[in-house]
Structure 1
Amino acid sequence: MVQLTVDLISKSRKHFKKKKGISLTQYLKTLTHLHFSSSNIESIGDISMCRKLAVLYLLDNQITEISNLGFASNITHLYLQWNNITHIENLYNLQKLSKLFLGGNRIAMVEGLEQLHELKELHLENQRLPPGEKLCFDSRTLLSLTESLCVLNINNNNIDDINDLSGLKELQHFSAADNKLHNIEELENVFSLWPQLLQMDLSGNPVCKKPKYRDHMIIVCKNLECLDGRDINEITRQFLNNWKISKEAKKKKRNKQMLPAALITKTFNK
């Protein structure tokens, strides 16, 4: 079994190279970036000597469990995509973690992030789940991310609604392509609560085939700059906003005209 350890680091040509006057211990204490992608690693061993570690690349390995990172209070970027991880766990000491990449694993429940108050990016695309299962979110984790999370990627995870995500009011980039989102009214209700949203990708969802889907999204997301890979023209936005205002005015006028007629009918019936 290949395990990420101090010994493995010392044997890596990418990392430790013996230099006059620099020992392995001294090197490990100053190490900030660690690259071990596509290395057949199955587990994370004791690398606690790497106290200054800030960026850890472990994508495309065989890791099944997130472990032995309790020492890594300085990590800001953690790359664990395309492993065999089933649970998000043992990350509570990573107080400075800003970007977490977990795409292509086997995670069914997003949880265990309650202590990560600096987390700005969360990438969870393409989870390899059993047929019929979808990616779900723990309410405590979502609550903890409401003030920090700016980027969320949940592409291709069999998701059919995002009502649980409505509290993520700081989101700027949202990707939920190739899911099963279909209810345009529910989406509008959620997006109306995300005033910071700048980029969004819903391509490949059934909702994209609904009449005037793009128009609805542009109207409700007032600061959106790019939708499904296509930039939003300000002239188009202004036209749609004017159209909405005109439509609402006509509806209001029609309701006013109907009110006296209803009162007359009611009086006559008496």
Structure 2
Amino acid sequence: MILDDDFVLKSVNLEVNTDDFIEKCQSIRSKSHIKLNKKNIKAIGEAILCRNANVLFLQDNKLSDISNLKQFSRLTHLYLQNNDIVFMDGFQNLVCLEKLYLGSNSISVVENLENCRELEELHIGTQRLEPTEKMIFDPRSIEALAECLLVLNCPGNSISSMKELEKLTSLEELDISCNKLNEIDEVCSSLEKMTSLHTIACEFNPICTLRNYKGKMVMAMPSIKTFNNVDVTRGMYAFYKALTRDKEKKKAKATSSQEYVTMDDIHDIVKELPTGLREVVNRTEDYTAHIDLINRNEFTNK
């Protein structure tokens, strides 16, 4: 099936030779919402009757070529979930688009959104990708969406880094669960740059196996409200803050204690020496003087 005017007329059971044909056509052209989901549509042709639509439902079809979407320049909401889309073509003229639903297709590159500067929500999760593929984001599209995109849902797309998303400074909600994020420091660095982000879902990533990954991520998001569908209260934030501070103190203390050789260190080392060598060391007139010298040298070298 091809989405064109003939198809639209047939979908509403309108015959050309009927008395009310013109009136019905005008009625279709005035509709703001056009529902054509589950119609076995494979391509988009010339559909003049639908060009005034603000909301177009095309989910659950068999669309692979969407380049002719450019004719629907008044769209604000577009539903394209569960089709066979591989390439994001046809969005160049959709300058009024506010919400775009592209989940469950075969898209590996998020692109051609440079003119969609009103886009607030992008739902593009669970793409049918090859085992070696991962979703990437065209920097030009990300830059164009930096100040408008508020919601990004991209779970289940083998994404291994959040670095490409850092410029989305207006983003408030992010679902990046079921991906392949494995570098907690890089993730936290990206989160620190996404200053408007207050809600995140990141379950089922490799980083989730790390101890205290939640604390590190929460502390990287000063505006955090919800983490993995759980509200972050003031008490929880204070707990993670105290925990992080305590770990830093322990780490600093451990580092400091390793800077100098102590008498306890020497005694422990001597105990591990073979008997003969241990006796030689014990007969040394004053090996503590040597240790003191080592410490002074360490301090001087710093």
Shorter-chain TM-score: which interval? 0.7 to 0.9
Match of 1:81 in 2: 81
CA–CA separation in structure 2 for the residues paired with 1:268 and 1:128: 62
Match of 2:177 in 1: 177
CA RMSD for the aligned pairs?
A: 3.1
Q: Name the TM-score, length of structure 2 as normaliser.
A: 0.79
Name structure 2 gaps, 5 residues minimum: 262-293
Match of 1:97 in 2: 97
Taking the TM superposition and a 5 Å limit, the aligned residue runs for 1:207-246 are 207-245=207-245
CA–CA separation in structure 2 for the residues paired with 1:19 and 1:254: 89
> Are the aligned partners of 2:216 and 2:244 in contact in 1 as well (CA < 8 Å)?
no
Taking the TM superposition and a 5 Å limit, the aligned residue runs for 1:110-189 are 110-189=110-189
> Are the aligned partners of 1:38 and 1:60 in contact in 2 as well (CA < 8 Å)?
yes
CA–CA separation in structure 2 for the residues paired with 1:267 and 1:4: 79
Match of 1:5 in 2: 4
The amino acid that maps onto 1:8 is F
CA–CA separation in structure 2 for the residues paired with 1:177 and 1:268: 51
Moved over 3 A (4+): 13-16, 18-22, 242-259, 261-270
Decide whether aligned partners of structure 1 residues 224 and 69 sit closer, same or farther in structure 2, where only a CA change above 3 A counts.
Answer: same
> Are the aligned partners of 1:111 and 1:137 in contact in 2 as well (CA < 8 Å)?
yes
The amino acid that maps onto 1:194 is M
Deviation at 1:266, TM superposition (A): 5.7
Match of 1:23 in 2: 23
Larger Rg: 2
Q: Name the TM-score, length of structure 1 as normaliser.
A: 0.88
The secondary structure found in structure 1 opposite 2:43 is strand
Post-superposition Cα deviations, 1:149-199, rounded to whole Å, max 9, x if no partner, equal 111111111111121111111111111111111111011000001111121
The secondary structure found in structure 1 opposite 2:131 is coil
Decide whether aligned partners of structure 1 residues 244 and 153 sit closer, same or farther in structure 2, where only a CA change above 3 A counts.
Answer: same
Post-superposition Cα deviations, 1:14-54, rounded to whole Å, max 9, x if no partner, equal 999x9969613311331111111111111112112333210
Deviation at 1:249, TM superposition (A): 6.7
Deviation at 1:257, TM superposition (A): 10
The amino acid that maps onto 1:6 is D
The amino acid that maps onto 1:40 is N
> Are the aligned partners of 1:85 and 1:107 in contact in 2 as well (CA < 8 Å)?
yes
Percent sequence identity over aligned pairs: 33
Name structure 1 gaps, 5 residues minimum: none
The amino acid that maps onto 2:232 is I
Q: How many residues align?
A: 268
CA–CA separation in structure 2 for the residues paired with 1:69 and 1:184: 39
> Are the aligned partners of 2:121 and 2:151 in contact in 1 as well (CA < 8 Å)?
yes
> Are the aligned partners of 1:10 and 1:24 in contact in 2 as well (CA < 8 Å)?
no
In terms of fraction of residues, the more helix-rich structure is 2
Post-superposition Cα deviations, 1:89-144, rounded to whole Å, max 9, x if no partner, equal 12111110011111111111111111111111111111111121111111211111
